[in-house]
Structures are given as C-alpha cells and as structure tokens.
Amino acid sequence: MSQFLFLDIEQLEQRLEFNDGLMLVHFGSPLVSSCSFAQRSLALIAPDFVGQLQIATVDVPLQDVKKLQKFSIRTVPTLALFDGSREVERLDKILLPAELRFFLRDAMAFYGEVWPAPNNEDQGFSS
C-alpha cells in the first residue's frame, strides 16, 4: 500500500473522501527544486511503510490560488498526513529521509498504527 499515487487536486479530494487509513500527501511543484528533494526522500523511506501508509504526490498549480487555498498550501513542498479524510499533521519544511522516517513512525504510533521496526540506518535510537 506504500506505492506512490500521482494525483491532481480533484483526484486527491475524491481519494480522501473514501480514505480509511493514513495517507501522506506531498504537495509540490516540478518548478521548485526542493520538491524534488522531498520526493526523493519519500522514495527512500517508502519501503519501510508498505502496508501501513499510502503516499500521494500532488503537483499543485502555483498560479491557481483557489486550489492552493483549498488545502491551505502556503509553501511547497508541504507534507500533510491524513487520517481518513481529516488532516492530522503537516510539515512545510524539508526533512532528511531519516528525520522523515522518525516523524512518520511517531505519527503512526500516535494515530494507532503499528510502525515498522527500526533498521540499522536509525543510529542513535534504540527500540
């Protein structure tokens, strides 16, 4: 379930309407280089969350203010975590893959999901 979904704003709205688990949405733009970094970070950690988290990428039209306002997008990249159709967490800063992994594990634990066991890349933290 951790495959990437590539959606537009309208498709995201429809998907969230029927979402019954956790979904991480990366709001970005191909015109912004930091969005590419965020996308690569997500690709690196996605295998850790197979079966527990859906990950969607939405290229937002930066010139369409109404669509940006619909999801309160003030900057890209923005990562939003949805529990069902409700947004429960938001990051509008760039995280390294290890930081993003820790954030998602904590969020999944808080919202009642079992998180993946730590691997050797998670130095400095014990389970």
Write out pLDDT tens, residues 47-81: 988 888 899 999 998 888 888 888 999 999 999 99
Q: Residue 112's closest CA among 78, 94, 88, 96?
A: 88
Q: How confident is the model at residue 109 (pLDDT cuts 50, 70, 90)?
A: confident
**Does residue 114 register a pLDDT over 70?**
no
Q: Give the CA angle between residues 57, 60, 65 to the nearest 5°.
A: 150
Choose between 85 and 113: higher pLDDT.
85
CA pair distance 30, 103, nearest whole angstrom: 24
Reply yes or no: is the peptide bond before residue 77 cis, omega within 30 of 0: yes
**Does residue 116 register a pLDDT over 60?**
no
pLDDT at position 113: 54
**Does residue 115 register a pLDDT over 60?**
no
Choose between 91 and 117: higher pLDDT.
91
CA pair distance 111, 122, nearest whole angstrom: 22
pTM, 2 dp:
0.82
CA pair distance 104, 17, nearest whole angstrom: 22
**Does residue 46 register a pLDDT over 80?**
yes
**What domains appear along the chain, each with residue ranges and CATH number?**
4-110 (3.40.30.10)
pLDDT at position 1: 42
Cα–Cα distances in angstroms (integers) from residue 84 to residues 2, 15, 24, 56, 117, in the given order: 16, 10, 11, 14, 24
Query: Which of helix, strand or coil describes residue 24?
Result: strand
pLDDT at position 99: 94
Strand-pairing partners, residue 78, are 27
Rounded to the nearest integer, the mean pLDDT of the chain is: 85
Angle between helix axes 33-45 and 97-110 (nearest 10 degrees) is: 60
